[in-house]
Chains A and B, each alone.
Chain A
Amino acid sequence: MTEGASLSAPYTLEFPFERTVGPKIGTFFAGLKERRLFGARAERGVVCPPLEFDPDTGAETGELVELAPAGTVATWTWARSRAGDPVARDFAWALVAIDGTAGSFFHAVDVGGDPSRMQVGMRVRVRWRGDRVGDLRDIECFEVAP
């Protein structure tokens, strides 16, 4: 082999497994398919998305609670859109505090590609995907609430 040359081969990164997601996360995903949003009761309040275990105590979380699919932006960072991203133009990754919950939901916020429209405390709502399959991407992104 000549100095500096190296072998290379095409490679596809994949995670070819199916998982059983359990009673809380499973119900949450099934809810998304029906355009319904659920959180789970924990010591600090309702957490959405629901976790199987309480982030503060480690105990099993409590019952699921249905929530309105809307909230407030707690923190955001601006991102350039790439192939496969939830929004096809530049957008914000954000932590959205869903109404009635303690904590926040990590997802994308679409403000038409204009970062000057992003603000902490702004009201947003879920934009549902048309063709839903029962996973996180059933939420296409959050959008500005009128």
Chain B
Amino acid sequence: MRDVAVVSFAQSPCEAANRRDDMAGILLPVIREALGAVGVDRDDVDFFASGSHDFFEGRTFAYIESLDAVGAWPPVSESHVEMDAAWAFAEAWSWLQLGEGDIALVYGIGRGSLAADLDQVLPAQLDPYFLAPLRPHRDALAGLQAAAMIDAGLTSERDLAEIVVRSLSAATGNPYAQKSGHLGVDQVLDAPYVSTPLREHDVAPVGDAAAVVVLAAGDAARRLGDRQAWVRGLDHRMDTHYPGVRNLTRSESTRVAAARAAELAGFGASEVDIAELHTEYSHAEPLLASALGLERTVVNPSGGPLAGRPVTATGLVRIGEAARRILDGRAGRALAHATNGPALQHNLVCLMSGEAAA
């Protein structure tokens, strides 16, 4: 494998609704910051990859607007995924592995606030025969998954409240968080149910933000800074779509992706210092921790998605936050997880280290 590293990460503050800026307006300063930090000019980037959903904009090929911030003339090599930008990261990493170039820029831009009613929008992502016709509200399938976990004795409402309290408290140190604070467990348990057993704070708040990660290969990566977060292993796997034929209390796709990533990396998920997990709901944390075999690892030191969920950038932010802790020397090894689809259907695991492969 080619040595490929995250060399820079930037994000915009996650806002409940940004009505000042369009897509390019949110993204441009973040691209400038990420490239500026490593002294790279936009023209030096060999490949751009992005992730966003047309669902939120309500029109096809909505992401084209964001290319104004990339600069598409003279023509650039560019790609887009209609999913979380963590998968654009996976594409850029593969592209660099193929030796097509040396520097890639990945961005995610989400404006989840645009929809007047997300409960009308999000069912459009479900299978059109057995799920979408019922138009389950946005948190219904997650509520079923959380209920199944409590019924199976894998967590409790109090455990979930403790995860919320820890996450929002960690987010007080994160200037990009949409939500943070020192709450009490009982206060969290007093909040109304959104979809039993999930309460208000168990659900990640949807917001508007952009995130940018710069990847570089080999000597280019070493030239761009003193430290690199080397991507030692990356894999993603998918469970079947229909929730009725899944065991919602387990994440087999996460387990398999982590095993494959560990095989590439030479170290496993249980050997990292910190893990940033794409937990759109509090119950996802014990579920993922179990699938990944995390025990003493620090989880979501940034506060995680419970402190802010810029749709389709949330997974990429996990990669960026994990990499950042290697770049600034606070962690030697880190794990980032991203998810896509209902009730953790599709999962990506990325293992990074301050040391390139031997």
A residues contacting B by CB (< 8 A) are 3-4, 6, 11, 13, 15, 19, 21, 25, 29, 44, 47, 49, 51, 55, 74-79, 82, 84-86, 93-95, 103-108, 115, 120, 135-137
Cα(A95)–Cα(B144), bound, Å: 8
Chain B residues positioned under 8 Å from A136 (CB to CB) = 129-130, 133-134
Chain A residues positioned under 8 Å from B242 (CB to CB) = 49, 51, 55, 106
B280 shortest CB reach to chain A, Å = 15
Q: Report the 3 A-B pairs with minimum CB-CB distance, sorted nearest first.
A: A77-B143, A104-B244, A55-B245
Chain B residues positioned under 8 Å from A77 (CB to CB) = 140, 143-144, 146-147, 195-198
B residues contacting A by CB (< 8 A) are 19-20, 58, 119-121, 124, 128-137, 140-141, 143-144, 146-148, 151, 193, 195-198, 240, 242-246, 248
Residue ID in chain B nearest A76 by CB atoms: B147
Q: Determine if A79 and B245 form an interchain contact, defined as CB atoms under 8 angstroms apart.
A: no
Chain A residues positioned under 8 Å from B240 (CB to CB) = 55
Contact A95 B193, CB 8 Å, known A106-B134, A136-B133 = no
Count of CB-CB pairs between chains A and B under 8 Å: 97
Chain B residues positioned under 8 Å from A47 (CB to CB) = 244-245
Q: Determine if A25 and B144 form an interchain contact, defined as CB atoms under 8 angstroms apart.
A: no
Chain B residues positioned under 8 Å from A78 (CB to CB) = 143, 193, 195-196
Residue ID in chain A nearest B192 by CB atoms: A80
Chain B residues positioned under 8 Å from A74 (CB to CB) = 148
Residue ID in chain B nearest A58 by CB atoms: B240
Residue ID in chain A nearest B247 by CB atoms: A103
A13-B121, A19-B128, A51-B242 given; 14 more Cβ-contact pairs under 8 Å: A6-B19, A13-B120, A49-B242, A55-B242, A74-B148, A75-B151, A76-B147, A77-B147, A82-B137, A95-B148, A106-B131, A106-B144, A115-B196, A120-B151
Q: Determine if A76 and B124 form an interchain contact, defined as CB atoms under 8 angstroms apart.
A: no
Contact A106 B244, CB 8 Å, known A13-B58, A136-B129, A136-B134 = yes
Contact A85 B135, CB 8 Å, known A77-B140, A93-B144 = yes
Residue ID in chain B nearest A93 by CB atoms: B140
Cα(A77)–Cα(B246), bound, Å: 17
Contact A79 B19, CB 8 Å, known A21-B129, A55-B245 = no
Q: Could you say which of A76, A77, A107, A136 has the most chain B C-beta atoms within 10 Å of its C-beta? A: A77
Contact A106 B128, CB 8 Å, known A77-B147, A82-B119 = no
Cα(A26)–Cα(B299), bound, Å: 46
B302 shortest CB reach to chain A, Å = 28
16 pairs, CB–CB < 8 Å, chain A vs chain B: A4-B19, A11-B58, A19-B128, A25-B129, A49-B242, A74-B148, A75-B144, A77-B197, A78-B196, A79-B137, A79-B143, A93-B141, A103-B244, A106-B136, A106-B144, A107-B134
